[in-house]
Structure 1
């Protein structure tokens, strides 16, 4: 990733929070690190059915990227894989949960994964006490993917699950700082967890964050594998004003003040939520220009 450059701190205004609710936002990509880029590309394309959308090598900064997903980046959520030269293993930590893929036939997808040497960690079948058919598989770096059986959907790459220490605080943070909506909340006392689905549209039509609170657990290790989620915005400066206000109330901090990335000129800002999970907000127009330039 490009080095982060500090700019002058933002000065927040109260109407920034109102603006966030009107901003045109969507999930762009999840960024995480892998030990062998070609191995992971092969697994995602052959086993999971993703398409390699673009790939780039930045030798001066000693890393390579690959972007994969189920549709073009200007309209779909994708994964951004990062390979750092010479690093073949990362610690995923205890806080990151899984990614999820919606498919019309979980059994068929699992058999495809198995036939190509993939690791199945939960055989396909209904969830306990319910009718939803799911399975879990593991990629070559140890990242878990939940496979969910659903009808046709415009966004198969449908969830990113993160564990948090205070669910209500996290919901409030993402609602106010990111303009997300609470789609549903599920408490499961038998298994001692509560989860919340939050995002920008119906969870059966778009990507959502699945925030999970395990009873009595307030802290998790982050490791060094999963990096961040990127979200598009119409204005990174106004976005940063809102984040600044919310972090003062609920915790977290801005880690990169709004402004263009040197050499690329795409405007971004980044911040940590109260649990330390990182989000990068990217200017929508700049993001489209970046895609057209590659």
Structure 2
């Protein structure tokens, strides 16, 4: 099935050799894993799938995801690692040991100069309820749903200052039509 985006310059049909490729995870650095793990599990309902320690390099990786069927998560560590790397939409939090004790350390969110990485995004079934949930949990807002040029889009910050876009898919149908603005540029 062809869609209009197939004709955007630079877009190619997926080569047969890429069949089975899956975008598995995005990595964010976490200054204090206890704070970040609490945030993502409590506020966004993610589940910690796997924790991998690398003592020789002094860092730990935490892999989180939204899981519909927790009974599918293997108990065996090796099998759970393979399971984790086969999922879609995984968030990897990387903790460099000792960073939680460095009062001066602050990670670059990618939105200040020089710009680079911008945000991750969660879709929710009810944007109003999500906004109230964030208020209940004292989540820091960058932009509420009724602010800015783009309505019905929320941006909140995680404990390390990374931006998280929150959208309700059914309210996103008109994005980019009138203003031509991209979501990531209007927050």
Band of TM-score, shorter chain: 0.5 to 0.7
1:27 is paired with a residue of what secondary structure? coil
Greater relative contact order, per chain length (Cα 8 Å cut-off, separation 6+)? 1
Structure 1 CA distance, aligned partners of 2:147 and 2:96?
39
- Gap change, CA 1:29 and 1:111, over 3 Å in 2: same
Structure 2: gaps (5+ residues): 1-11, 68-82, 101-105
- Gap change, CA 1:87 and 1:187, over 3 Å in 2: farther
Structure 1 residue 64 corresponds to structure 2 residue 60: yes
Matches within 5 A, 1:31-46: 31-46=27-42
Deviations 1:143-190 (A, max 9, x none): 111110126xxxxxxxxxxxxxxxxxxxxxxxxxxxxxxxxx9588x6
Structure 1 residue 112 corresponds to structure 2 residue 139: no
Partner of 2:90: 78
Structure 1 residue 140 corresponds to structure 2 residue 140: no
Structure 2 CA distance, aligned partners of 1:20 and 1:135?
32
Matches within 5 A, 1:1-294: 21-22=15-16, 23-24=18-19, 25-71=21-67, 73=84, 74-88=86-100, 89-93=106-110, 94-125=115-146, 128=149, 133-150=152-169, 186=176, 195=182
Structure 2 CA distance, aligned partners of 1:68 and 1:186?
31
1:55 is paired with a residue of what secondary structure? strand
- Kindly state the Cα deviation for residue 126 of structure 1 after the two structures are TM-superposed: 8.5
- Gap change, CA 1:19 and 1:101, over 3 Å in 2: closer
The structure that is strand-richer by fraction is 1
- Kindly state the Cα deviation for residue 124 of structure 1 after the two structures are TM-superposed: 2.3
Structure 1: gaps (5+ residues): 1-17, 152-184, 196-209, 215-294
2:98 is paired with a residue of what secondary structure? coil
Structure 2 CA distance, aligned partners of 1:87 and 1:187?
44
1:112 is paired with a residue of what secondary structure? helix
Partner of 2:80: none
Structure 1 CA distance, aligned partners of 2:36 and 2:122?
16
Q: Any conservation in 2 of the 1:125–1:133 contact (CA below 8 Å)?
A: yes
- Kindly state the Cα deviation for residue 41 of structure 1 after the two structures are TM-superposed: 0.7
- Gap change, CA 1:187 and 1:105, over 3 Å in 2: closer
- Kindly state the Cα deviation for residue 77 of structure 1 after the two structures are TM-superposed: 1.5
Q: How many residues get paired?
A: 144
Structure 2 CA distance, aligned partners of 1:122 and 1:114?
13
Structure 1 CA distance, aligned partners of 2:119 and 2:128?
19
